[in-house]
Amino acid sequence: MCGITGWIDWERDLTKEGQIVQKMVDTMIDRGPDAGGVWLSPRAALGHRRLSVIDIDGGAQPMKRTIADKNYVLTYSGEIYNFMELRNELMQRGYHFTTRSDTEVLLFSFMEWGKNCVDRLNGIFAFAIWDEEREELFLVRDRLGVKPLYYAVRGSAILFGSEPKALLANPLVQPEVDEKGLAEIFLMTCRTPGQGFYKDVHELRAGHTISFQRMGSKMTQYWKLQSAPHLYDVEETAQHIRELMFDIVGRQLVSDVPICTLLSGGVDSSAVTSIASQILKEKGENVHTYSIDFKDSSDHFEKSEIHTGLDAPFVKTMADYLKSDHHDVVLDTPDLISDFLTPLYARDFPALGDIDTSIFLLFKAIKQKASVALSGESSDELFGGYPWFHSPEPTEFQALPWLYRTDFVGLLSPELHEQIRPKEYIFDHYQKAIAEVPYLPGENDRDRRLRELFYLNLVYFLPVLLDRKDRMSMAVGLEVRVPFCDHRLMEYGWNIPWEMKNTGGMEKGILRKALKGLLPEEVLYRKKSAYPISYNPSYVLEMRTRMESILQDSSSPVLPFIDREKLASMVRGANSDIHLIHGPVRAFEYFIQVNTWLKEYKVRIAV
Binding-site residues for ATP:
262, 292, 375-376
Residue 245 near residue 274 (C-beta atoms within 8 A): no
Helix (H, G, I), strand (E, B) or coil at 159: strand
Q: What is the spatial distance between Cα 143 and Cα 163, in angstroms, rounded to a whole number?
A: 18
Q: Residue 2 catalytic? A: yes
Q: What is the spatial distance between Cα 362 and Cα 534, in angstroms, rounded to a whole number?
A: 14
Does the bond joining 334 to the residue before it have cis omega, within 30 degrees of 0? no
Residue 263 near residue 270 (C-beta atoms within 8 A): yes
Binding region: 102, 262, 292, 375-376
Residue 471 near residue 343 (C-beta atoms within 8 A): yes
Strands in 325-331's sheet, in edge-to-edge order, are: 325-331, 288-294, 259-262, 372-374, 479-481
CA 409 to chain centre: 24
- Tell me which residue of 345, 332, 351 sits closest to 542, measured CA to CA: 332
CA 390 to chain centre: 25
Q: In what helix (H) or strand (E) does residue 363 lie, and over which residues does it extend?
A: helix 354-367
Q: What is the 3-state secondary structure (H, E, C) of 458-494?
A: HHHHHHHHHHHHHHHHHCCCCEEECHHHCHHHHHHHH
Binding region for L-glutamine: 102
Strand partners, 74: 63, 129
Q: Which of 2, 117, 190, 485 is catalytic?
A: 2
Q: What is the spatial distance between Cα 525 and Cα 520, in angstroms, rounded to a whole number?
A: 9
CA 236 to chain centre: 31
Going 76 to 82 to 85 to 86, the CA torsion angle's sign is negative
Strand partners, 80: 123
Instruction: Cite the active site residues.
Output: 2
